Amino acid sequence: MFALYSSFWVNLHHVLYEQARLRTERPVVRSQSEAAKQGRAPLPLEALTEKERHDWNSAVDEYEVKLAPHDLLFDQDLVLMNDRLAEMGDNESAEATGFLPGVIAALAKAAPVYRAHWWPGDDRANREWIDTVAPLVEDLGASISRRLSAIYRSPWPKGAIHVDVCSYAGVFGGYTTLEPLHITVSSRDPRNQGLAAFELLFHEASHGLADPVRDALDREFQAQSKPIPRDLWHALLFYTTGEVVKRMFAGSGRELYKPYAEQNHLYERDWQTYQKALDRDWQPYLEQTTDFGTAIKRLASDL
């Protein structure tokens, strides 16, 4: 169902991007506390030689100017870059990427420094994360994929979904891009540990399934002459995956599971109204006591 990788080049790219973003975030008061919660911090450079420190800082400088101002998910060049790096073997050279000269030079300078000092620990953390989540996918993945496909009225993607497991994967701990479907997820983000790691995989995969639901919501809100609430679709994805995983865990005799959105207080901050509407209007559809069309209409009426 998932092909899980710990790729040197994808990890290096995301670490350089994170280090560059941390530089640009420092003037923002809230960013440092938020970064600390996510386990993010500037990498220690004391153990590096003078040349290594120069090469590393030069690479981060390039990322700070060229790439850090852009979003990993919404900037098409960064999406294409991540897809290209995912195709590369660990022993290929930066020149094989075909990127702009400055980016190639940054990757080439940073690669030996990262490989010598941080990659062994990052690779180990990635593989431990994979070893934790893989048995759960083997046990429950087929059942959950069938249920999500039925809910979203969309077939599960053919072939294994490519997943890159990284030290850093954006401020939310993971993101998914489409065509091809490509998941990037953080092994070190504290939100992505234990059973939550399993839910996160299926939440990210749902981004490739849920277009029929999003399209139905768009049509219904337009029919009712109402604006479509911001983030409703994403809240519905979190809610749906969390409920399905919780029930599957309960049915398999595992511990009582609190879904990711509840663990991380998403409903408490921004989505309180959505949670109430989803409880009232979408939950009956998940429980198969009402049909899809009725659930969509009720959601649009209540919001």
The one-character DSSP state at 256 is: P
Q: What is the pLDDT of residue 28?
A: 45
- Identify the CA nearest to 175 among candidates 63, 61, 83: 83
The number of angstroms, rounded, from the C-alpha of 188 to the middle of its chain's C-alpha atoms is 12
As a whole number of angstroms, the distance between CA 251 and CA 281 comes to 24
Q: What is the pLDDT of residue 29?
A: 38
As a whole number of angstroms, the distance between CA 173 and CA 98 comes to 27
- What does R_g of the chain's alpha carbons equal in angstroms? 21
Report yes or no: 170 and 73 within 8 Å, Cβ to Cβ: yes
Q: What is the pLDDT of residue 79?
A: 96
Helices (H), 153-264: 195-206, 211-223, 232-251, 260-263
Q: What is the pLDDT of residue 37?
A: 52
Q: What is the pLDDT of residue 167?
A: 96
Q: What is the pLDDT of residue 39?
A: 60
Q: What is the pLDDT of residue 34?
A: 55
Cα–Cα separations (whole angstroms), residue 203 to 27, 119, 196, 242: 33, 27, 10, 8
Q: What is the pLDDT of residues 104-159, one digit of tens each?
A: 999 999 999 999 999 999 999 999 999 999 999 999 999 999 999 999 999 999 89
- Please tell me whether residue 249 adopts helix, strand or coil conformation: helix
- Identify the CA nearest to 1 among candidates 265, 193, 201: 201
Measured torsion, CA atoms of residues 57, 166, 204, 68, in degrees rounded to the nearest 10: 0
Residues, the chain, total?
A: 303
Domain boundaries, the chain: 7-119, 210-302
pTM of the model: 0.92
Q: Give me the residues of the chain with pLDDT under 50, please.
A: 28-33, 35-36
